[in-house]
Amino acid sequence: MTQTTRTLAIGLITVIVAALLPFGLSNYQVGLATEVLIFGILAMSIDILAGFAGRTSLGHGAIFGVSTYVVIYMVSNGVSPVLALGLGILAATLVAAVFALLAVRTSGVYFLLLTLALGMIVWGICLRWTQVTGGENGLRGDIRPQILYDHRSFYWAVLAATAVLAFGIWRFVRSPFGLTLRGIRDSESRMRSLGYNVPLHLFIGFTVSGFFAGVAGGIYAFFNNFVSPSTVALTQSVEGLLMTIVGGVGTLFGSFVGAAAIIALENIVSSHTERWQTVLGITFILIMILAPEGLVGKVRILLGRVRSSKPQALPNPKP
Amino acid sequence: MNTFQILNGLTFSALLFVVASGFTLIFGLLRIVNLAHGALYLIGGYIGYTVGIKSGSFILGGICAMAGVAFIGFILDQGLLRFVRGHELRQVLLTLGFAFVLNDMALVIWGGDSFTVPIPEALRGAVNFFGIFYPKYRLFVLVVGILLFILLWLLLQKTRLGALIRAGVDDAEMVEASGVNIRLVFLITFLLGSALAGLGGLMGGAFLSLYPSADAEILVFSLAIVIIGGRGSLLGVAVGSLLVGILNTFGQVMFPELAYFVIFGPMAVLLAFRPLGLFGKAT
Amino acid sequence: MDRRQFLKTTGFTLASAGIGVGPWNQALAQEGPIKVGLLAPLTGVVASGGREMVEGTQFFFDSIGNQVAGRKIELIIEDDASNPDTSLQKARRLVEQNNVHWLIGNLLANTGLAVANYVKGTGTPYFIPIIAADDLTQRQRIKNVVRVAGYSASAFTHPLGDWALKQGYKKIATVSQDYTFGHEQCGGLAQVFTEGGGEIVQQFWHPLNTADFSPYLGQLANMKVDAIFAMETGADATRFIQQYASFGLKGRIPLLGAMNATDQSVIRTLGAECEGIVSPAHFAEGSDNPITKKFVEDYTAKYQKIPSLYGFSMYSGAMWVTEAMKAMGGKIDNREAFIDTVLKTDLTGSPLGKTVKLDQYGNPIYDVYIRKTVKRPDGKYWNVPVETYSNVSQFWKYDPATYLKQPPYSRNFQGIKKG
How wide is the angle at C-alpha A15 spanned by C-alphas A9 and A16, nearest 5°? 90
State which H helix or E strand residue C71 sits in.
strand C71-79
Cα separation, C351 vs A47, whole angstroms:
57
Q: Count CB-CB contacts under 10 A for residue A231.
A: 28
- Cβ(B268)–Cβ(A117) under 8 Å? yes
Cα separation, C2 vs B250, whole angstroms:
62
Confidence of residue B190 (pLDDT cuts 50, 70, 90): very high
Confidence of residue C14 (pLDDT cuts 50, 70, 90): very low
- Asked if residue C255 has pLDDT above 50, the reply is yes
pLDDT, position A315: 59
Confidence of residue C30 (pLDDT cuts 50, 70, 90): low
How wide is the angle at C-alpha C220 spanned by C-alphas C217 and C225, nearest 5°? 150
**Residue range C166-193: mean pLDDT, rounded:** 92
Give the lowest-confidence range in B117-126, C122-131, C224-233.
B117-126
- Cβ(A45)–Cβ(A176) under 8 Å? no
* pLDDT: which is higher, B132 or A148: A148
**pLDDT above 70: percentage of residues in chain C:** 93
pLDDT, position C240: 93
Cα separation, A306 vs A300, whole angstroms:
10
Q: Bridge partners of C103?
A: C37, C126
Tens digits of per-residue pLDDT, C274-327?
A: 999 999 999 998 888 899 999 999 999 998 889 998 999 999 999 999 999 999
- Kindly compute the dihedral angle of the four CA atoms of residues C392, C396, C401, C402, in this order, to the nearest 10 degrees: 170
**Residue range C123-140: mean pLDDT, rounded:** 84
CA distance B259 to chain A (A): 7
User: Which residue out of A132, A140, A155 would a mutagenesis test of the C interface target, given it has the greatest number of C Cβ atoms within 10 Å?
Assistant: A140
pLDDT, position A313: 59
Q: Which residues of C touch B138 (CB under 8 A)?
A: 214
- Residue A68 touches partner C, C-beta closer than 8 Å: no
State which H helix or E strand residue A163 sits in.
helix A151-174
Q: Which residues of A touch C207 (CB under 8 A)?
A: 127-128
User: Which residue out of A110, A127, A136, A279 would a mutagenesis test of the B interface target, given it has the greatest number of B Cβ atoms within 10 Å?
Assistant: A110
- Residue B115 touches partner C, C-beta closer than 8 Å: yes
**What are the structural domain ranges in chain A?**
3-233
pLDDT, position B259: 62
- Asked if residue A269 has pLDDT above 90, the reply is no
- Asked if residue C115 has pLDDT above 60, the reply is yes
pLDDT, position C116: 92
Domains with residue ranges and CATH for chain C: 1-152+290-353 (3.40.50.2300), 156-287+367-405 (3.40.50.2300)
Instruction: Tell me the CB-side half-sphere exposure of residue C382, using CA atoms within 13 A.
Output: 21
Tens digits of per-residue pLDDT, C77-88?
A: 998 888 899 899
Helix segments in chain B, DSSP class H: 3-30, 37-55, 58-74, 88-110, 136-158, 160-170, 172-177, 182-207, 214-229, 234-254, 261-273
pLDDT, position C36: 95
Confidence of residue C22 (pLDDT cuts 50, 70, 90): very low
CA distance B175 to chain A (A): 23
User: Which residue out of A245, A276, A278 would a mutagenesis test of the B interface target, given it has the greatest number of B Cβ atoms within 10 Å?
Assistant: A278
Instruction: Tell me the CB-side half-sphere exposure of residue C272, using CA atoms within 13 A.
Output: 7
Average pLDDT in chain B: 87
Size of the B and C interface in Cβ pairs below 8 Å: 102
Q: Which residues of A touch B219 (CB under 8 A)?
A: none
State which H helix or E strand residue A63 sits in.
helix A60-76
Give the lowest-confidence range in A102-111, A137-146, C8-17, C346-355.
C8-17
Q: Nearest residue of A to residue B272 by CA position?
A: A102
Tens digits of per-residue pLDDT, B154-180?
A: 999 999 888 888 888 788 778 878 777
Tens digits of per-residue pLDDT, A12-67?
A: 898 998 898 888 888 889 999 999 999 999 999 999 999 898 899 999 999 999 99
> Closest Cα partner for A42 from A58, A19, A56, A61?
A61
Give the lowest-confidence range in A233-242, B93-102, B258-267, C364-373.
B258-267
pLDDT, position B283: 55
Cα separation, B210 vs C410, whole angstroms:
30
Confidence of residue C49 (pLDDT cuts 50, 70, 90): confident
- Asked if residue B79 has pLDDT above 80, the reply is yes
The interface pTM score, or ipTM, of the predicted complex is: 0.84
pLDDT, position C29: 52
**Residue range A68-86: mean pLDDT, rounded:** 93
- Cβ(C200)–Cβ(C416) under 8 Å? yes
Within 8 A by CB and 6+ apart from B268, the residues are A102, A114, A117, A118, A121
Average pLDDT in chain A: 88
State which H helix or E strand residue C402 sits in.
helix C400-405
pLDDT, position A318: 58
Surface-to-core class of residue C114, CB atoms within 10 Å of its CB (0-12 exposed, 13-18 middle, 19+ buried):
buried
pLDDT, position A3: 78
pTM of the model: 0.84
Contact B135 C246 (CB under 8 A): yes
Helix segments in C123-175, DSSP class H: 153-166
Within 8 A by CB and 6+ apart from C259, the residues are C156, C279, C280, C281, C283, C309, C371, C383
Within 8 A by CB and 6+ apart from C67, the residues are C73
pLDDT, position C9: 39
Cα separation, A238 vs B99, whole angstroms:
13
- Kindly compute the dihedral angle of the four CA atoms of residues C3, C6, C9, C13, in this order, to the nearest 10 degrees: -130
- Asked if residue C17 has pLDDT above 60, the reply is no
Tens digits of per-residue pLDDT, A151-195?
A: 889 999 999 999 999 999 999 988 999 998 888 888 888 888 888
Contact A318 B87 (CB under 8 A): yes
Confidence of residue A314 (pLDDT cuts 50, 70, 90): low
